[in-house]
A = this chain, B = another copy of it.
Amino acid sequence: MPILQFVERDGILDLGWGHPRPGLLPVRQWQDATRAALDAYDWQALTYGHSAGPQPLVDWLAEHLGTVDALTASPGEFFVTAGASHALTLCATVLAAPGDVALVDVPTYHFALRILRDRGLRLVPVPRDDAGIDVEALGALVDRLRGDGQRIGLLYLVATFGNPTGLSVGEPRRTELVRFARAAGVTIVEDDTYRELGYEGAPPASLWSVDPGGPVVRAGSFSKTVAPGLRLGFVQAGPDVLDRLAGIGYVDSGGGLNHSVALAMATFARSGAYAEHVARVRAAYRSQRDALVDGLRAGVPGLDVPRPAGGWFLWLRLPEGMTAESLMVVAERNGVSFAGGAQFHTDPARGHDHIRLSFSLLSPAGLTDAADRLAAAIRSVAG
């Protein structure tokens, strides 16, 4: 039984893992934050915490989001969770009943599809174009589903630096989508995990900020900015959803979902370590992205290699006629791997013409090497 989720495979540079680069994890700074939090909060850091999360973290979150989004938040809008996937699990529990429809913007985060299925929801992909969800077609879809007697529990999407595409929903599409959601009574769950990892200036304003406390529930995470092993994230929502989250039996039973870590994070944030650390990792991931993109562009001239403006992922359309499955065999023989595109779709027939490459785990040099190996595999399969 191992310590980590990651499984190293001999001789393979694996671009399939959306994991942070080990050297970027703030080991010493977290040691300091934990010590300082226990000095400051003493036994209060170790007993049952407030269900919605401890005030010091929530106060900081409310201020901080004003610096990375379009508007300042209020501390009363938050519920601290054990990460964004946990936030999605809890939101699916309080927003939807088994048998309801979950609308999903595909391709999307593959584990979100599993999490929504775990709740017994029926997944329905929404129509989209290059700027994001096609709101008019979505309206027709919602009418048709409701006409068939189906209840729509939620609409899930990663609007900013999406997983797996790296793309963001454009403006004015964001505003149109939120207005539609309010009018149609559809709750949007906005997975905003990658907001702080933008490499070309400020990220787009969140869907939440279009109509705060309205039809959007935002899920955030410290997994990509600080460290996934801390299991810490949050939900930002209106009072009705927050009340329902706090009313879950196991929440009320145990109090704050990750109390001691939440107080350590508050200390880490207030000390300035958060801002310093995120600036450092943002620069590092930008270099990693460029090493992968530049390597692939050089290695397969003529291939359309996008340069995502943020996040951890590059979504690559394979040359005409090539599938992820056929490429995988040759790529692994060449010492490189990736995630096939089909798992990010609800329809098993779709996505075989794409692969997802994570540039989060490897150093720039490792990514250059991986790009060379992958480019050679693509050239070889393209014959």
- The interface on chain A, measured as residues whose beta carbon lies within 8 A of the other chain's beta carbons, has a size of 76
Q: Please determine whether B259 and A111 come into contact, CB atoms closer than 8 angstroms.
A: no
A71 on interface, CB distance cutoff 8 Å = no
Measured CB to CB, the nearest residue on chain B to A44 is: B3
A143 on interface, CB distance cutoff 8 Å = no
A86 on interface, CB distance cutoff 8 Å = yes
Q: Please determine whether A47 and B19 come into contact, CB atoms closer than 8 angstroms.
A: yes
Inter-chain CA distance A156–B253, complex, in Å, is 16
Q: Please determine whether A255 and B58 come into contact, CB atoms closer than 8 angstroms.
A: no
Identify which of B3, B43, B85, B254 contacts A54 (C-beta below 8 A). B3
Q: Please determine whether B43 and A250 come into contact, CB atoms closer than 8 angstroms.
A: no
Q: Please determine whether B46 and A30 come into contact, CB atoms closer than 8 angstroms.
A: yes
Contacts of A88 in B (CB 8 A): 250
A146 on interface, CB distance cutoff 8 Å = no
Distance to closest chain B CB from A28 (angstroms): 8
Contacts of A116 in B (CB 8 A): 249
A321 on interface, CB distance cutoff 8 Å = no
Identify which of B4, B23, B253, B257 contacts A48 (C-beta below 8 A). B4
Identify which of B25, B42, B82 contacts A43 (C-beta below 8 A). B25
Q: Please determine whether A227 and B260 come into contact, CB atoms closer than 8 angstroms.
A: yes
Contact stretch, chosen from A202-210, A228-236, A281-289, A364-372:
A228-236
